């Protein structure tokens, strides 16, 4: 009996049937293998080179595929699914332009260490290298932005390759793996033998840490008077939030969380200082600049955190770096105490011996700075400010929502003014800074977390890059609440042109943007708009009370800037404080 014609069955029955040694095509092997890996939803867009794969989906009720309206929407959705669930995200696209449309999304995931398995089709093996219709060397194109790539030349290799791809994507420093399947491979038949084990020569990521190095760190902590922790996305990806909380409480070290690390430590904790770096808080940046011990946990000392390295943490005596990727140790900042290993494993061992630093006076100084120099904005003139909108969203959701963002000013305001409580509750493009990421990533996050409130915060620029995905929200009743902070310009570019380029504004006007309410309605989604504080509260509550997807446009002033701000080339001591200066 052919599996794809059978009705939906129990998970146990399905798993047993999927492993049967049937004579099936490479396409059926792919679908079976994905289900055996625990894949719940695949995001994709068909085309000629993957038609055998999509034909195998026909009538296969146990296989869940979501048709997006653009390949970039598919991979960003898979990315949002992965970040918000901790599982591997999967997307499928055809050869040539279908595959190359995935490149930005692959680079986005690679920069932020997100586990994806990206499946592309290619022309038949006999046509490879002939410049055949819709042929592209996608494995070559993506080599610098994947953990590994496979070009499958023999259908018998497919079960092993798929199993290896999931292992590589979701172990060590996580990241995207690409599997390119020629059309004849997807059509050829073989007796299916599911892969059971993984053995990859040369791939043995370090998970268990060197305990002697951790002991050195713990000794340095006991001697430190002004210690600081910078926690990054690695804490979240390692599911180490509980271990980090225990570590901070035991060592009594003030902590700053990077953009990707924001949800790895609760914002309400008394030792939390906020986000460091270019748009970091006064408290976090000042603490780093005066620290005598700096501990990076799952953070790679990104340039937006450190700014000018020549003036970064000038008073520090020792720097410790905890990271699963040995290549990050000492790459940007000197490291005195390297701790290579899984963050969860490192902190679990550290917590068995951790003792407090000599930090009482330091904590008092930090808390005074936090009270005297809070994040603030000018709210006196009664205008609807973007910061006010984010605060309202944070308060009404009590910090419990999953928030995805696009890239720009709204991203920084969300990072500053939304109070994140739970791990994996922020989904944002950090390293690559990909506009168009925010909305489709929310679709993936909602698919992976059907019982949670998912809010996508976007600018009017980035929203127009993937707005077509509103169609699938309407068709599938995916209840994402889409927020558009509409300031009618490319806000972050405008801010740089104002502050760094002496008000020489060039090509930032987004005049001619659509009426977002009408656009939403054209796709069959409820659209709402607010221009005042009173309207903002009313329409936002209406959005929350609406069971399906909603687009809410908040019209805000063009000239609002993100502060604090550190200009490129300056140190994090050189903060522009805006209205609070």
CA distance 359 to 558: 43
- Give residues with Cβ within 8 angstroms of 512, minimum separation 6: none
CA distance 370 to 387: 18
Pairing of strands 255-257, 227-231: parallel
Task: Clarify whether 387 is annotated catalytic.
Answer: no
Indicate which residue of 6, 15, 19, 134 is catalytic.
134
Q: Which two tokens stand for residue 276?
A: 């460091």
- Give residues with Cβ within 8 angstroms of 286, minimum separation 6: 369, 573
Q: Which two tokens stand for residue 154?
A: 């023999």
Task: Clarify whether 577 is annotated catalytic.
Answer: no
Indicate which residue of 87, 174, 183, 318 is catalytic.
183
List, edge to edge, every strand of the sheet that includes 255-257.
255-257, 227-231, 293-297, 318-323, 337-340
Task: Clarify whether 225 is annotated catalytic.
Answer: no
CA distance 289 to 376: 22
Greatest CA separation for the chain: 74
Task: Clarify whether 71 is annotated catalytic.
Answer: yes
CA distances from 50 to 91, 121, 124, 344 (A): 12, 5, 11, 39
Task: Clarify whether 492 is annotated catalytic.
Answer: yes
Indicate which residue of 28, 71, 328, 553 is catalytic.
71
DSSP 77-126: HHHHHHHHHSSPEEEEE-STHHHHTTHHHHHHHHHTT--EEEEEEE--GG
Look at residues 255, 252, 225, 247 and name the one whose alpha carbon lies nearest to residue 315. 225
Indicate which residue of 275, 435, 465, 492 is catalytic.
492
| 207-211: long-range contacts, CB 8 A cutoff, minimum separation 24 | 207/171, 207/172, 207/324, 207/341, 207/342, 207/345, 208/341, 208/342, 208/345, 209/322, 209/339, 209/340, 209/341, 209/342, 209/345, 209/346, 209/349, 210/339, 210/340, 210/341, 211/349
CA distances from 388 to 262, 378, 495, 516 (A): 20, 10, 19, 21
User: From the CB of residue 493, how many other CB atoms can be counted at a distance below 10 Å?
Assistant: 17
Q: CA neighbours within 13 Å on the CB side: how many for 376?
A: 14
Paired with 208 in beta bridges are: none
Provide the 3-class DSSP secondary structure of residue 223: helix
- Give residues with Cβ within 8 angstroms of 182, minimum separation 6: 49, 121, 122, 123, 124, 125, 128, 151, 152, 153
CA distance 245 to 248: 5
User: Which positions are annotated as active-site residues?
Assistant: 71, 133-134, 183, 492
């Amino acid at each position: 009996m052919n599996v794809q014609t059978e009705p939906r069955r129990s998970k146990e029955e399905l798993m047993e049937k999927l492993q049967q040694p049937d004579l099936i095509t490479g396409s059926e092997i792919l679908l079976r293998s994905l289900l055996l890996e625990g894949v719940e939803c695949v995001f994709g867009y068909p085309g000629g080179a993957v038609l055998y794969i999509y034909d195998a989906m026909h009538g296969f009720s146990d296989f869940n595929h979501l048709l997006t309206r653009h390949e970039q929407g598919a991979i960003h959705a898979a990315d949002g699914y992965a970040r918000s669930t901790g599982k591997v995200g999967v997307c499928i696209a055809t050869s040539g332009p279908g595959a190359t449309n995935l490149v930005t999304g692959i680079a986005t995931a690679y920069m932020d260490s997100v586990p994806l398995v990206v499946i592309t089709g290619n022309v038949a093996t006999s046509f490879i290298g002939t410049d055949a219709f819709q042929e592209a060397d996608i494995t070559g194109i993506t080599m610098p932005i994947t953990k590994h790539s496979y070009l499958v030349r023999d259908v018998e290799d497919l079960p092993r390759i798929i199993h290896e791809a999931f292992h590589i994507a979701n172990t060590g420093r996580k990241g995207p793996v690409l599997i390119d399947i020629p059309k004849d491979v997807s059509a050829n038949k073989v007796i299916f033998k599911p892969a059971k084990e993984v053995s990859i020569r040369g791939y043995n990521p370090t998970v268990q840490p060197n305990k002697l190095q951790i002991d050195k760190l713990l000794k340095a902590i006991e001697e430190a008077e002004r210690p600081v922790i910078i926690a990054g996305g690695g804490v979240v990806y390692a599911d180490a939030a509980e271990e980090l909380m225990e570590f901070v409480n035991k060592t009594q070290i003030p902590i700053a969380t990077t953009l990707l690390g924001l949800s790895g430590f609760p914002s309400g904790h008394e030792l939390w200082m906020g986000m460091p770096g270019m748009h970091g808080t006064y408290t976090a940046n000042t603490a780093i600049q005066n620290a005598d011990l700096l501990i990076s946990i799952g953070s790679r000392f990104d340039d937006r955190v450190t700014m000018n390295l020549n003036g970064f943490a000038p008073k520090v005596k020792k720097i410790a770096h905890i990271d699963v990727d040995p290549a990050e140790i000492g790459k940007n900042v000197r490291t005195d105490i390297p701790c290579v290993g899984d963050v969860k494993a490192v902190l679990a061992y550290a917590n068995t011996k951790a003792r407090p630093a000599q930090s009482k006076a330091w904590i008092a100084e930090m808390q005074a700075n936090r009270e005297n120099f809070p994040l603030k904005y000018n709210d006196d003139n009664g205008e609807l400010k973007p910061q006010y909108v984010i605060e309202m969203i944070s308060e009404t959701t009590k910090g419990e929502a999953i928030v995805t963002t696009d890239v720009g000013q709204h991203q920084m305001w969300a990072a500053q003014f939304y109070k994140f409580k739970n791990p994996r509750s922020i989904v944002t493009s950090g390293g690559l800074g990909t506009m168009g990421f925010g909305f489709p990533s929310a679709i993936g996050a909602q698919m992976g977390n059907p019982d949670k409130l998912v809010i996508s915060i976007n600018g009017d620029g980035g929203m127009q890059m993937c707005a077509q995905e509103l169609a699938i929200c309407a068709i599938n009743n995916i209840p994402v609440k889409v927020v558009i902070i509409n300031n009618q310009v490319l806000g972050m570019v405008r801010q740089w042109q104002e502050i760094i380029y002496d008000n020489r504004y060039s090509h930032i006007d987004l005049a001619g943007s659509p009426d977002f309410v009408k656009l939403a309605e054209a796709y069959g989604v409820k659209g709402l708009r607010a221009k005042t504080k009173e309207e903002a509260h009313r329409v936002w509550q209406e959005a929350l009370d609406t069971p399906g997807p909603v687009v809410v446009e908040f019209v805000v002033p063009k000239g609002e800037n993100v502060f604090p701000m550190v200009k490129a080339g300056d140190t994090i001591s050189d903060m522009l404080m805006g209205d609070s200066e």
